[in-house]
C-alpha cells in the first residue's frame, strides 16, 4: 500500500542480489548530479515473498545550493513484460514443431563449445549430423501431418539417446544435429 511504501527505503524491499546495483545507480546520480538516460531495472521482494521486476526512473531534486535534497522516483512493475520477453527469447531459440533448440541456438552453442575447446585443449565434444533420407516420400504419400508427427517422434527418440547435458537440435526440414559434450573419446561418439 502507499503508506507501507512511503515508510520504506528502496533497499528495504530490494532483492539481495540487486542491492549493490541499486546503490551504484543512486551513487552515480548523486555524483553526476543528473538523471540517467535509462531507468533502473531491478528485482524486488513483494511483501508476500514473490519476486517482482520493477523499472525505476529517478529524478534528483537539489536545494538552492545545488546539493542533493531528495529523489523523486517513478516505479513501474514490469514483471509481465519481463516474462513476455523471456518467452520470446525462448521461442526464438526453439523449433516450433519439435520443441528442440533451433538452428540459431545450435550455432551459437556450437560457437561457445569451439571457443571452450580452443581455450582448453583437453576438452572434447562431438558433432553428429542426422539427415533423414527420403523424408519427402513420407510427406508426399502420407501427408504433412504424418510427416510432422514423424519429425516429432524422431526428435523425441534422438533426445532419448543422449545424456541430459548433450544438445539435440533441429536444423530445419529433416536435418538434426547432436552435440555430445560428455564424451571421453571418439569411441563414445561412435557408440
Q: What positions carry a catalytic annotation?
A: 174
What are the helix (H) ranges across the chain? 2-6, 19-32, 79-92, 103-119, 135-142, 144-160, 186-190
Alpha helices in 75-134 (DSSP H): 79-92, 103-119
C-alpha cell at 26: 543512486
Handedness of CA 21, 26, 31, 33 (dihedral sign): positive
The grid coordinates of residue 121 equal: 585443449
Amino acid at each position: 500500500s502507499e503508506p507501507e511504501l512511503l515508510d520504506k527505503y528502496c533497499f528495504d524491499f530490494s532483492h539481495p542480489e540487486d542491492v549493490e546495483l541499486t546503490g551504484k545507480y543512486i551513487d552515480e546520480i548523486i555524483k553526476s548530479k543528473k538523471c540517467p538516460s535509462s531507468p533502473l531495472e531491478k528485482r524486488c521482494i513483494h511483501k508476500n515473498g514473490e519476486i517482482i521486476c520493477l523499472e525505476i526512473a529517478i529524478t534528483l531534486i537539489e536545494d538552492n545550493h545545488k546539493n542533493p535534497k531528495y529523489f523523486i522516483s517513478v516505479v513501474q512493475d514490469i514483471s509481465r513484460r519481463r516474462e513476455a520477453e523471456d518467452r520470446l527469447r525462448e521461442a526464438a531459440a526453439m523449433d516450433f514443431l519439435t520443441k528442440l533448440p533451433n538452428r540459431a541456438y545450435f550455432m551459437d552453442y556450437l560457437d561457445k563449445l569451439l571457443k571452450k575447446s580452443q581455450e582448453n585443449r583437453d576438452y572434447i565434444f562431438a558433432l553428429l549430423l542426422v539427415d533423414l533420407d527420403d523424408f519427402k516420400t513420407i510427406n508426399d504419400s502420407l501427408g504433412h501431418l504424418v510427416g510432422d508427427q514423424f519429425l516429432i517422434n524422431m526428435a523425441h527418440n534422438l533426445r532419448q539417446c543422449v545424456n541430459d547435458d548433450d544438445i539435440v537440435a533441429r536444423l530445419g526440414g529433416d536435418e538434426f544435429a547432436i552435440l555430445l559434450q560428455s564424451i571421453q573419446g571418439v569411441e563414445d561418439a561412435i557408440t
